[in-house]
Amino acid sequence: MSIENVISSAIVRSFCGKLDDYLNIDVALVGGGPSALVAAREIARNGFKTAIFERKLAPGGGTWGGGMLFNEVVVQDSATAILDDFNISYKPIADADGYYTLDSVEMASGLIFGALKAGAKIFNSISVEDIVFKEGKVNGLVINWTPVERLQMHVDPLTVIASVVVDGTGHPSEIIRLATEKAQIKLNTETGKILGEKPMWVDSGEASTVTNTREYFPGLYACGMSANNTAGGYRMGPIFGGMLLSGQKVGRMIVDKLKG
Ligand code: 48F
């Protein structure tokens, strides 16, 4: 076999084996933002089969660009243990006790690496376009290549079956929205519907991101900004403690549930 053939064949066989192995899993996370990456590490390190499906080529979500493309972000005391666990560095802000700055590129790459090294798989350039909904429960995801979605090609999708689905899609809460609009499910919120994100109020948003992280319907959880949008929390901008703690919370909740 020529080297050209070896390379192509190895990639095709390796990728297809990986995808085939992950068509029936314990936990499917939609979106590879910071909250889902922390959750994926937590769940995978507990031995559960875990995959993230990320629409973009690069996972990391809103982490890379810091604040207004100044590639630094802020994290508070309560979340530094999570950064330590991922081996991500941070430095104190001189005039603000308990707050730290860190390089957003180190944070994005560190979270991705940490999730992968714990055993989670990340499938990038794949968009989740629907849920599998059977017998009153969310059972998995309907997936397609992002270029197919972007070019609006008329190509049928494939499915991933999962015991638990996590909406980590950030501000739009895409999966929760699909579930309410297409499966017409009633959410575990005040109105049974998505309440929608409120304007910026940093400390309230940071706290509510964690409070709002929960199971919204049997088999369907939300974390990060998706949880905050679903339950009507305030936004917070480039401070990331709430996102990290939300990921840790949803990860622990799911591990407890799966361990029974
Ligand atoms: O928004 P995002 O970074 O998620 P997060 O964990 O973190 C929010 C912060 O980055 C920031 C913030 C903190 O102050 O407010 O915004 O809540 O990442 C969401 C990821 O989900 C992907 C999207 O490309 C992004 O990388 N995504 C969204 N919809 C889909 C999706 C979909 N339908 N299929 C696959 N991926």
Residues flagged as binding site for Fe cation: 156, 171
What percentage of the chain exceeds 70 in pLDDT? 100
pLDDT of residue 90: 98
| Ligand 1 midpoint to CA 9 (Å) | 33
Atom of ligand 1 nearest to the CA of 235: 15
Residues flagged as binding site for NAD(+): 35, 54-55, 62, 128, 154-156, 225
pLDDT of residue 77: 97
Closest of 108, 121, 124 to residue 244, by C-alpha: 108
pLDDT of residue 6: 98
Atom of ligand 1 nearest to the CA of 37: 6
Q: Strand pairing partners for 191?
A: none
Q: What is the mean pLDDT of residues 133-150?
A: 96
Q: What is the mean pLDDT of residues 194-215?
A: 97
Q: What is the C-alpha to C-alpha distance for residues 248 and 70, in angstroms, rounded to an integer?
A: 26
- The fold adopted by the segment(s) 3-259 is FAD/NAD(P)-binding domain (3.50.50)
pLDDT of residue 8: 98
Query: Tokens 């390796």 label which residue?
Result: 14
| Residues 50 and 27 sit within 8 Å (Cβ to Cβ) | yes
Instruction: Round the average pLDDT of the chain to a whole number and report it.
Output: 98
pTM for the full model?
Answer: 0.98
Residues flagged as binding site for glycine: 235
**Tens of pLDDT along 61-77?**
999 999 999 999 999 99
Atom of ligand 1 nearest to the CA of 247: 6
| Residues 133 and 183 sit within 8 Å (Cβ to Cβ) | yes
| Ligand 1 midpoint to CA 95 (Å) | 31
| Ligand 1 midpoint to CA 137 (Å) | 24
| Ligand 1 midpoint to CA 33 (Å) | 5
pLDDT of residue 213: 98
Pocket of ligand 1, candidates 42, 225, 230, 245: which has the most ligand atoms within 8 Å of its Cβ, to mutate?
225
**Tens of pLDDT along 99-135?**
999 999 999 999 999 999 999 999 999 999 999 999 9
Query: Is the complex ipTM more than 0.85?
Result: yes
Atom of ligand 1 nearest to the CA of 31: 21
Three-state SS letters, the chain: CCHHHHHHHHHHHHHHHHHHHCCEEEEEEECCCHHHHHHHHHHHHCCCCEEEEECCCCCCHHHCCCECCECEEEEEHHHHHHHHHCCCCCEECCCCCCEEEEEHHHHHHHHHHHHHHCCCEEEECEEEEEEEEECCEEEEEEEEEHHHHHCCCCCCCEEEEEEEEEECCCCCCHHHHHHHHCCCCCCCCCCCCCCCCEEECHHHHHHHHHHCCEEEECCEEECHHHHHHHHCCEECCCECHHHHHHHHHHHHHHHHHHHC
**Tens of pLDDT along 12-53?**
999 999 999 999 999 999 999 999 999 999 999 999 999 999
Residue 115: burial class (beta carbons within 10 Å; 0-12, 13-18, 19+):
buried
Residue nearest ligand 1's atom 12 by CA: 237
Q: Which amino acid is at 237?
A: G
Spell out which residues line ligand 1, taking CB within 6 angstroms.
30-36, 53-56, 61-63, 127-128, 168-170, 174, 224-226, 236-238, 240, 243
**Tens of pLDDT along 220-239?**
999 999 999 999 999 999 99
pLDDT of residue 28: 99
Atom of ligand 1 nearest to the CA of 236: 14
pLDDT of residue 133: 96
- Provide the pLDDT confidence category of residue 96 given band limits of 50, 70 and 90: very high
- Provide the pLDDT confidence category of residue 153 given band limits of 50, 70 and 90: very high
Token pair belonging to 28 = 């499917």
Q: What is the C-alpha to C-alpha distance for residues 131 and 142, in angstroms, rounded to an integer?
A: 5
Token pair belonging to 72 = 């630094």
Residue nearest ligand 1's atom 33 by CA: 128
**Tens of pLDDT along 154-195?**
999 999 999 999 999 999 999 999 999 999 999 999 999 999
- Provide the pLDDT confidence category of residue 252 given band limits of 50, 70 and 90: very high
- Provide the pLDDT confidence category of residue 95 given band limits of 50, 70 and 90: very high
| Ligand 1 midpoint to CA 32 (Å) | 6
pLDDT of residue 124: 98
pLDDT of residue 113: 98
Cα–Cα distances in Å, from 135 out to 22, 35, 58, 162, 257?
Answer: 23, 29, 35, 14, 20
Token pair belonging to 19 = 């995808």
